[in-house]
């Protein structure tokens, strides 16, 4: 009985949502309206230790941590190769949001100039495409490891996590095909955009809204998984 009461006292989905919205609103208000009105010395402290670009980057890592929490925390799988999927998603963005494939010229709702060669898709489309590619790799790595547990699963996923970076690092010439541009990487990548506006590297407000929205969606999915049939099975 006491255990049931303790569980009910845990943080609810509504409390998580309200807490995140309040935190996001406070951070956005501070960096948009308050910080630049503070004394110069205090501004320098924030610009040096916690600039707006770092806040946006932190939200990206929050999304990564939430995904890792689903695999390791909820499912209890000792996956040491999770970061490999992060790399696959990143290169997917490079393939579909840059001039990497210069022999083609595809532009779909992108911020890139029409004359720019390569595949240039909308950032929002690439999110789903990258997710599908990562899911395909997840099936490939998951199929032979279905019966593995504990240390054996950790060893296989660790190997996967080590192999993928090496493939991309040395992927400049794989059977005559340039898959990753090797150590030079894929650069530049198209800017994130919203309808009617291309965002620059220092457009804090719009990017904060985008990353906060994606983080909120990830929190929602995570909480729904935990409370759903699959989460209860875990």
Tell me, yes or no, whether 187 lies in a domain. yes
Give phi and psi for 11, each to the nearest 5.
Answer: -65, 125
Tell me, yes or no, whether 232 lies in a domain. no
Tell me, yes or no, whether 188 lies in a domain. yes
What confidence tier does 7 reach under pLDDT thresholds 50, 70, 90?
A: very low
Report helix, strand or coil for 100: coil
Interval 111-161: pLDDT, tens: 778 888 889 998 889 999 999 999 998 888 877 777 777 778 888 888 888
Tell me, yes or no, whether 107 lies in a domain. yes
Say which residue the tokens 């909820």 belong to: 74
Within 8 A by CB and 6+ apart from 50, the residues are none
Neighbours of 141 (CB within 10 A): 20
Tell me, yes or no, whether 131 lies in a domain. yes
- What pLDDT does residue 3 have? 46
Neighbours of 162 (CB within 10 A): 12
- What pLDDT does residue 63 have? 92
The number of domains in the chain is 1
pTM value? 0.81
Average pLDDT over residues 169-191: 86
Tell me, yes or no, whether 151 lies in a domain. yes
Tell me, yes or no, whether 229 lies in a domain. no
DSSP state of 174: B
Average pLDDT over residues 82-109: 89
Residue with the bigger pLDDT between 61 and 6: it is: 61
pLDDT at 180 over 60: yes
Interval 46-92: pLDDT, tens: 888 888 889 999 999 999 999 988 888 888 888 888 888 989 999 99
Tell me, yes or no, whether 60 lies in a domain. yes
Residue 54's nearest CA partner among 219, 220, 215, 207 is 207
Full residue range of the structural domain in which residue 106 is found: 15-39+52-222
pLDDT at 9 over 80: no
């Amino acid at each position: 009985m006491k255990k049931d009461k303790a569980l009910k006292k845990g943080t609810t989905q509504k409390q998580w949502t309200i807490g995140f919205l309040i935190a996001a609103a406070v951070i956005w208000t501070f960096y948009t309206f308050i910080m630049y009105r503070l004394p110069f010395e205090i501004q320098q402290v924030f610009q040096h230790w916690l600039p707006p670009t770092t806040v946006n980057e932190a939200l990206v890592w929050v999304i990564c941590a939430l995904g890792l929490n689903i695999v390791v925390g909820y499912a209890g799988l000792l996956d040491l190769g999770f970061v490999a999927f992060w790399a696959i998603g990143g290169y997917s963005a490079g393939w579909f949001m840059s001039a990497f494939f210069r022999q083609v010229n595809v532009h779909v709702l992108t911020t890139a100039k029409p004359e720019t060669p390569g595949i240039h898709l909308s950032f929002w489309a690439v999110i789903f495409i990258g997710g599908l590619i990562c899911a395909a790799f997840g099936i490939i790595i998951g199929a032979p490891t279905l019966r593995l547990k504990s240390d054996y699963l950790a060893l296989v996923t660790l190997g996967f996590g080590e192999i993928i970076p090496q493939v991309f690092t040395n992927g400049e010439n794989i059977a005559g095909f340039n898959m990753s541009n090797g150590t030079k990487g894929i650069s530049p990548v198209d800017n994130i955009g919203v309808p009617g506006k291309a965002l620059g590297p220092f457009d804090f407000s719009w990017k904060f809204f985008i990353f906060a929205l994606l983080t909120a969606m990830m929190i929602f999915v995570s909480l729904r998984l935990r409370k759903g049939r699959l989460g209860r099975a875990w």
